[in-house]
């Protein structure tokens, strides 16, 4: 452009440089965290809609010494390939947590792990998962792997084969962020999922009365395919009431609980959220 003088280019360069610097800084923070046990997990309760009992939880990654959120650092972990090692750390940590609860004699509940698209087709991960479960004496049904639709964008044979291998280990599979973007119901007929997670953006639309038919049919359809349904990002009582009427199985969201530390979740482990 004619009028974009020197200053404009300089501005552009500074912005780009800032972004790049930020990324390099985050990458360093992540490398350091891997070396120094600098990650921790929070656990957000999932509640059985009909009875109010906690039925499981989702593990969410945090940096111990930094407020940088996963929405910022996960993409960097993915771009740099660090997600492979971080993903294994999360998996081991979650398996150790189930083992610890087993040791304490608690009534075991599955923990969900977020699985990045970048980890797909990593054969080493499958072997690692199986080995760690065996080593720690944890039954695979206590682990749930959350995959997102983006994994399915390329509906390749190897992706489906990978998911089937995951399934064959005995872990559960949930389809995360359902209802965002290019959501297609046909996915549900050819990938081995046990559960769909209705995304917050979708659940927010269900606050409008007009959309209730859509919500109800979506839940019915999932059920008719033999899938369970969990709604996430639930903040409003009205959403809970509607989802309950619509037959949704489980709910996760600030209405019941934010993500908790281990100490906090152990306190409410046998708590009924409706009493
Ligand atoms: P996600 O998997 O969709 O996780 C749900 C996010 O929504 C979490 O944010 C959670 O804290 C937040 N949330 C839960 N209930 C509510 C609610 O009622 N209202 C609102 N506004 N938010 C709610 P978080 O922990 O910041 O994680 C953001 C994203 O980062 C996750 O989205 C996931 O995509 C990614 N992520 C987090 N932990 C991991 C991980 O261990 N591995 C991978 N690969 N990705 C992760
Ligand atoms: Ca998730
Ligand atoms: Ca989600
Ligand atoms: Ca999400």
* Ligand 2 mean position, distance from CA 148 (Å): 8
Indicate if ligand 1 lies below 6 Å from the C-beta of 70: yes
- Tell me the mean pLDDT in the region 74-81: 96
pLDDT at 7 over 60: no
Instruction: Report CA-CA distances (Å) from 236 to 121, 126, 227, 232, 241.
Output: 38, 38, 25, 11, 9
pTM of the model: 0.94
Per-residue pLDDT reduced to its tens digit, 155-186: 688 889 999 999 999 999 999 999 886 666 77
- Tell me the mean pLDDT in the region 36-50: 98
Strand partners, 154: none
- Tell me the mean pLDDT in the region 147-158: 80
Q: Ligand 1 pocket test: pick from 44, 57, 70 the residue with the most ligand atoms within 8 Å of its Cβ.
A: 70
Q: Whose CA is nearest to atom 8 of ligand 1?
A: 60
**Are the C-beta atoms of 203 and 177 separated by less than 8 Å?**
no
* Ligand 1 mean position, distance from CA 9 (Å): 37
**How far, in Å, CA of 205 to CA of 213, rounded?**
12
- Tell me the mean pLDDT in the region 23-38: 98
**How far, in Å, CA of 108 to CA of 99, rounded?**
9
Q: What is the mean pLDDT of the chain?
A: 92
User: Which ligand does the CA of 60 lie closest to?
Assistant: 1
Give the side-chain half-sphere CA count within 13 A for 269: 16
Per-residue pLDDT reduced to its tens digit, 205-255: 988 878 889 899 999 999 999 999 999 999 999 999 999 999 999 999 999
State residue 11's pLDDT score.
62
State residue 1's pLDDT score.
44
Q: Whose CA is nearest to atom 25 of ligand 1?
A: 60
Indicate if ligand 1 lies below 6 Å from the C-beta of 44: yes
* Tokens standing for residue 150: 């983006």
State residue 121's pLDDT score.
84
**Are the C-beta atoms of 143 and 172 separated by less than 8 Å?**
yes
Which residues crowd ion ligand 2, with CB under 5 Å?
114, 146, 176
Cβ neighbours, 10 Å, residue 28:
10
**Are the C-beta atoms of 200 and 243 separated by less than 8 Å?**
no
Ligand 1 atom closest to residue 41's alpha carbon, by position in its atom list: 41
Q: Whose CA is nearest to atom 23 of ligand 1?
A: 233
Q: Whose CA is nearest to atom 22 of ligand 1?
A: 233
pLDDT at 57 over 90: yes
């Amino acid at each position: 452009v004619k009028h974009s003088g020197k200053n404009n280019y300089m501005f552009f360069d500074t912005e780009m440089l800032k972004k790049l610097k930020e990324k390099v800084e985050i990458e360093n923070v992540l490398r350091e965290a891997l070396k120094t046990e600098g990650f921790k997990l929070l656990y957000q309760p999932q509640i059985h809609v009909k009875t109010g009992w906690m039925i499981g939880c989702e593990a969410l990654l945090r940096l111990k010494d930094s407020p940088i959120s996963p929405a910022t650092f996960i993409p960097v972990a993915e771009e740099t390939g660090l997600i492979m090692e971080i993903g294994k750390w999360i998996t081991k940590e979650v398996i150790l947590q189930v083992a610890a609860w087993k040791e304490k004699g608690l009534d075991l509940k599955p923990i969900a792990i977020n699985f990045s698209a970048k980890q797909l087709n990593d054969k080493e991960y499958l072997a690692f998962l199986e080995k760690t479960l065996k080593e720690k004496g944890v039954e695979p049904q206590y682990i749930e792997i959350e995959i997102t639709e983006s994994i399915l964008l390329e509906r390749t044979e190897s992706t489906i084969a990978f998911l089937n291998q995951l399934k064959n280990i005995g872990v559960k599979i949930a389809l995360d962020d359902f209802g965002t973007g290019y959501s297609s119901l046909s996915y549900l007929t050819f990938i081995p999922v046990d559960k769909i997670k209705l995304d917050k953006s979708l659940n927010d639309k269900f606050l409008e009365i007009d959309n209730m038919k859509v919500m109800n049919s979506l839940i019915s359809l999932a059920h008719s395919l033999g899938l369970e349904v969990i709604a996430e990002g639930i903040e409003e009582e009205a959403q809970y009431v509607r989802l309950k009427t619509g037959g949704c199985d489980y709910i996760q969201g600030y209405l019941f609980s934010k993500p908790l530390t281990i100490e906090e979740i152990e306190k409410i482990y046998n708590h009924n959220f409706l009493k």
